[in-house]
């Protein structure tokens, strides 16, 4: 949670939340959106996914609630281009935005392993994002 809070602190309009941690047990995006909407009915909610996830959205638990509860933000990933699917997503009722980010040759799994073994670096994360 500390990594998320540190990253969110530097991004205007982004807020870290431990709502899924507090809920415990199985957690689905639809549950989180419903909880966030109850906390602030006027909040504009976004679900951010990698382009490689878009093809499997129809398998998500209660996907209709996710579709109506948030705008889908698709982030490019190396080797994945979801833009050909945007028309179909919009026709199915999704509000969709795409963003491009620089490709980094590191995974979240690798970052956690680097932090666990004391090999983390500010090249990959800003100061305060890793313990």
pLDDT digits (tens, 9 = 90+) for 11-49: 888 888 888 888 888 989 999 999 999 999 999 999 999
How far CA 96 is from CA of 25, 79, 93, 114, 119, in Å, comes to 29, 20, 9, 34, 37
Between CA 111 and CA 124 the distance in angstroms is 8
* pLDDT of res. 125: 58
Tell me the average pLDDT of the chain: 84
C-alpha span between 74 and 81 (Å, rounded):
10
Residue 92: pLDDT band with limits 50, 70, 90 = very high
> What radius of gyration do the chain's Cα atoms show?
16
% of the chain with per-residue pLDDT over 90: 38
**125: DSSP letter:** S
Average pLDDT, stretch 4-14? 81
Answer yes or no: are the C-beta atoms of 114 and 121 closer than 8 Å.
yes
Say what the pLDDT of residue 24 is.
87
Q: How far apart are CA 81 and CA 88, in angstroms?
A: 14
Question: What is the β-pairing status of strands 71-75 and 46-50?
Answer: parallel
Q: Quick check: pTM over 0.85?
A: no
Local structure of 27: helix, strand or coil: coil
Residue with tokens 């998500």: 60
Grade residue 122 by pLDDT with cuts at 50, 70 and 90: low
């Amino acid at each position: 949670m500390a990594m998320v809070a540190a990253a969110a602190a530097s991004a205007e309009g982004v807020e870290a939340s431990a709502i899924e941690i507090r809920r415990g047990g199985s957690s689905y995006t639809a549950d989180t959106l419903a909880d966030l909407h109850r906390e602030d009915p006027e909040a504009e909610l976004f679900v951010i996914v990698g382009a490689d996830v878009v093809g499997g959205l129809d398998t998500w638990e209660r996907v209709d609630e996710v579709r109506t509860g948030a705008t889908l933000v698709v982030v490019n990933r190396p080797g994945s281009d979801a833009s050909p699917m945007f028309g179909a997503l919009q026709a199915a009722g999704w509000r969709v935005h795409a963003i491009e980010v620089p490709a980094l040759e590191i995974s979240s799994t690798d970052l956690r392993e680097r932090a666990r073994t004391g090999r983390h670096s500010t090249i990959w994360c800003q100061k305060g994002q890793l313990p």
